Amino acid sequence: MLWSCLILMGGLPIDHIWSQGTEGAVATGDAAVYGADGSVVIPLTDELQCGLMIYTQGGGLTLRRGVYRNAFKIRWWGADLLLYKHPKEERITNPVYEDGRPYVYGKINAMYLFRVWKGGQKLHGEKLRKDAVRLSSLWRYGVTLGLLKPVYMEIGYPDIPYEYIATERYDPTDHFSSNIFGQAQWMYGLDELTVVPGLHASYALDFEYGTERHVQRTLTAGVAVDAFLVQPEIFATSFEQNSRAFVTLFATFELGSNWTR
């Protein structure tokens, strides 16, 4: 009881709480909980995680690098690369040629989001045993670059039945369902990328459930906002309305490690 009072008055972090071992050895709270031999656990200083992100309009990859400010706070830097799917997308095929590749009628650009961000994490509940979960809140803010890649189609000429097929950049004023054989391969349009700058902000809950001190498995769930300076043109304006701001729900699964410098 005396030790507990002194600790509470001094405001010491959890990882530095002293406890009495079964044989009288003095150990940190972490070591006592995990059944260590009484040696002092050195506080962590760095963390690295990478994994997959899925969200209500697509998915992709995420990477983050963190530095521990103290036992309860982490400062983060990171990046995401995501495919954005417009909510009105509906893939169709050529009604006559079933071997044609599926395409989205009216979609003139495929959009990718490249985010570069910084943020912070606050620990709310530490793991008290190996099979428990560490709960944290995570917030991020930074820059989003919308990367627009033109859509190319395989166009049949002159009319059905086609005599030959040409690969052309999709133009809704010239290309119709009657002459679109299918969408061209993904690599077409990579040399014609258009960049649309914007801002990013997100907030999430972070659940870390790794059973080893230096190996992490993390699930994160939250909400994100991406807002652009100009309206990214995904669909032709005569087909669907485009937006400058996207609000999405997301979840990530990440693997990582932490260490002491």
CATH of the domain at 110: 2.40.160.20
Q: Are residues 149 and 197 in the same domain?
A: yes
Please, which pLDDT band fits residue 39 given cuts at 50, 70 and 90?
Answer: low
Which residue range(s) make up the domain with 248?
A: 43-259
Q: Are residues 55 and 173 in the same domain?
A: yes
Q: Are residues 25 and 70 in the same domain?
A: no
- Residue pLDDT, tens place only, 149-189: 999 999 999 988 999 999 999 999 999 999 999 999 999 99
Where is mean pLDDT largest: 95-99, 196-200, 213-217?
A: 196-200
CA dihedral sign of residues 188, 189, 191, 197: negative
